[in-house]
Chain A
Amino acid sequence: MSANPAKPTDFACRPFHYPALEADGAYFESLGESVIAASFDENIESECKQAANLGLADLSPLPRTGFKGKQAINWLSDTGLSIGEENNYSWLQTDQTLIARLADTEALVLSDLNARSDLCRRLEKQNAEQMPEQCYHVPRQDSSAWFIVTGKHADIMFAKLCAVDMRLSRFKSGSIAQTSMARMNAIAIRHDLGEIPAFHILFDSASADYLWRMLKDAMSEFSGKPVGYNAICHLAQ
């Protein structure tokens, strides 16, 4: 049971598919101005074990943002962020936020898993104030849902949904695939939680319920299950 239980409907900002999470037995906790599915099991150790095997968690309430335009990468770099030259690759920043370079003209910013960094909010504010030319905010917080799939079976599970070769030996940590997953556009970013393989999945927020079902179905072959945010944070430490 959660230490700080909260109800999604007590907040204006609600996880995209919270009724499905509730149906799966999620316990919610408040996180910033929203709530997050903190656990599905009373025992965090068993959830961590589950995540190490094959777990699926909803991270949609965590901050994220995006910027696009010809000057987007330059502008982000000028703010002090570390972004390499390679498209479809991601870089972890000192505050543990993740910058995913999707193209020469677009980047995605994912909050650290503990949501301690205020980078997303800061960048959005700065962009709105400065209105830099050819650098436009993309409302990723609401346009894209954010799941994380973890565990040793994650890569072979993805083979049931996605045509990209995501084998751990080929799809190294940091890699990005912008692809079709269960017939939906999705961005997959591999960033392991310590020793545990982990893939962040960003996709159409209106399809959160659908992809949650498709992932659970694909995972069942490998005994995969939903896990809570707390287990993900625990593994990330």
Chain B
Amino acid sequence: MKMSKFWLLLILSLSFVLVLAACGNDEEASGEEDDTADEADDNDTDDDAGEDGTEEDDAEGDEGEGEAQSGGTLTAGMYSAPGHQFNPLFYSDAYEANILSFTHESLVQLDENLEYEPALAESWEINDDFTTITYTLNEGVQWHDGEPLTAEDVYFTYATIADPEYVAAGGVRTNYVVNLSGYEEYNSGETDTFEGVEVIDDRTVAFHYDEPNIKILFDTSFIIVPAHPFEGMAISDIPDASASRDAGEVVGSGPFVLSEFIEGEQYALTAFADYWGGEPYLDGITWRVIQQSVMPGLLESGELDMIAEPNGVPASDFDRVDGLDNVTTYMTQDFGYQYMGIKHHHRTTDDVEAGAITPDNWVENEKVSDVRVRQALASAINRQGIVDGLLYGMGSVMEAPFPEASWAYDADAVNEYPYDPDRANELLDEAGYVDVTGDGFREDPDGNEWTLNLDYPTGNEVRERTAPIIQEELGAVGIRVDLRQPREAGPHFDMVEADNTDWDLYLAGWSLAVGDPDPAGIWQSTAAYNYTRWNDETSDELIQKAVTPPDAFEVEYRAEVYNEWAAHVSEQVPMVFLYSSDNIYAYNSDLQNVKELPAGIYQDSHLWYLAQ
């Protein structure tokens, strides 16, 4: 007994000493850890590159400094795991996009002025009335499996999206094809050939539109998918096919191949030697799924080389990361935004199973159907406070889904909802939501309990932190919010999509393509991405009006219509736009040739190299 007491005391005192030591010597300790971490990382890299080991050594010998050097693996981090879908036709989250940006390509891509430049296509020609665009494809483009990329693949990509079964199979990209000629006929199953896309020869393909298309380049900028792995396959089987899901089986034309992954942890991309733009300098890129909060530390220690989409480095860590000698930061405004979604309608279980987006069948969510309630939600949340506090001012509050950088943005066009709890209270009183039971929370106009559920995903830490804040702020104006247990991003977005649930409010964000401000893909009531299931005739009409020629060829005219639409949106408050944050991309300073574009930094990754 005497002995054990002695040991306990010893352990007790030792543990205190350890705690105190940890407080005092933080910097020294972490410095030491850095070194070891670096070594460990290098070893990993060697292991990863196992097969290419000799190649790497050769390259080092051949090339001098300052020149692009071959070899090395880049480790990049993202905070949520990609959903398990690596077919561009069916992917839906930004985490999958992180992989696909390196493995697949489009006919055209955006340059630094946000204008389209050739990618897979060598050149294009648009006819005078903007109804036909003819692309000439680059010569010698190969798929990862060695097959040549031809116009047939372009046809396959667009025909699949136009297929009658596409939406039911889980596809959400129909906005790329709905304006093509013959869409109706093909989509209803009347014809077996899709007239909208015409294969002229192996390297020439034309897109035909019935009406002049003012965003013809944007509409033809979808990622091209190979036809041969899916030959003879029913559309409904494609999302589950191994060519859509398995490492080594996913075939693209990009500079990197998805060669191996451990679901939810690590996704290894290796260089594609026969890439048409030239063999990539890097041996590979490894994506790791890492908690957002630990990323800056790993970047500092060199265990992580890049933090990019979505959202980049948390704003709270910007100063720290920007001050690192071994890291380059690049800040750009996010074209996407974070929002608190309001489920205006729920689809029926039958519709969810059938994959149908039919507004007529929707069931209204009466808890949020009063526009004054929605306006009160917007007024009760201190969004400027979130930007100032959680984002350290690196972001902006928005009232309509156009970022400041867009030509469709006009600050004066929208109704604003500055933080004003009194206004929220007034609106709720006016709408008949008053507290009759005296428990501090309002009841609905019939005197029944009124609780709004709020669901949110983990991963994005600023977003995670906003959830309890929203609960408290809404509680302050008497709205009872049931804050649910947060889910991983994957299941959360599956449920956002399924919506045969009891959801009222949810947190989510959009990473948006910047090609054209046309909001139809998310805001048209029939769009699969219309997650709030907002069904508003005025909105639908305005969205169509803005792209209806001939007026729509004038940017001023479109801007005007979008202002009108933005005003309508900001009056109806279909969702509460929380903030649009500045994206802070950060990468290892050894990484050279990164193109810092407004649309991101992933372009031309085959030219990236690590200075050694």
Q: A and B, one complex?
A: no
Binding site for B on A (CB under 8 A): none
Binding site for A on B (CB under 8 A): none
